[in-house]
Amino acid sequence: MAVFLSGLRHLYLIFYNWIVFFGWFQVFYFGVKTLKESGYEYVYDAVEKPLLFAQTAAFFEILHSLAGIHSFDLKHFYVLCFRSGVILVSSLVISWSITEIIRYSFFGTREAFGSAPSWLLWLRYSTFLLLYPIGITSEVGLIYNALPYMKEYGKYSIRMPNKWNFSFDYYYAAFVCLAIYLPGKNHNIILLLKVSSRSAQICQFCLFTRFLGFSHLYSYMLGQRKKALSEPKKHRTQAD
């Protein structure tokens, strides 16, 4: 019975990884095709459906961890969730899709054949050196460009009074996101938040989440790269 369940798990992970790979490949293909033929203004419309599919499928990794199907790193979950002008949309989508194409093809190949080739291992743990800064820069730029719209229209905000006795301001939450991404010392975050009249209320939260910022994540991934490339055989056969 244990052998049967192990084989079933193995087949499921092969299927899952290659399906998600195909979803991200569609995002990349339609993104590049639209950028070349129609311009960056139309990229998001072209990739919206496959992007929603691929990113939604990524959340199954949490369920996999809870069910004991596959191990899952919470730091990687943070990267998945907080990676999000129209030119910036194009750079974000393309860098994001390349990263995930490599990632899921690596896992799919390893599940199917027991190991991944050295060149794919190198890509898995090296392309983030360029693509992660591009993605983060694109996300921060998108948030910054959207701030005037958030403030003027109050979309996704919850105002008082209401039956829940709860309020949420999407505009100020965006500053929290920017503070999380901001590299450097904590006093830089305080300076950023001074543009907000509610800075005193959210400053402590931003300081608490500072360790989740760009520099910490980048350092973490550099450590993972060093570990993986220094012991290639071990990491081709074991789960991350």
Single out the catalytic residue among 16, 104, 132, 172. 132
Question: Catalytic pick from 61, 100, 111, 139?
Answer: 139
Q: How far is CA 224 from CA 18, 109, 169, in A?
A: 23, 20, 36
C-alpha span between 58 and 52 (Å, rounded): 10
Active site residue 152: no
Spatial contact of 174 and 147, defined as CB atoms under 8 Å apart: yes
- What number of other Cβ atoms are within 10 A of residue 44's Cβ? 16
The token pair that represents 73 in the structure block: 């790193």
Concerning whether 12 is annotated as a catalytic residue, the answer is: no
Q: Per DSSP, which regions of 74-220 are E strands? A: none
CA-CA distance, 221 to 99, in Å (whole number)? 13
Active site residue ranges: 132, 139
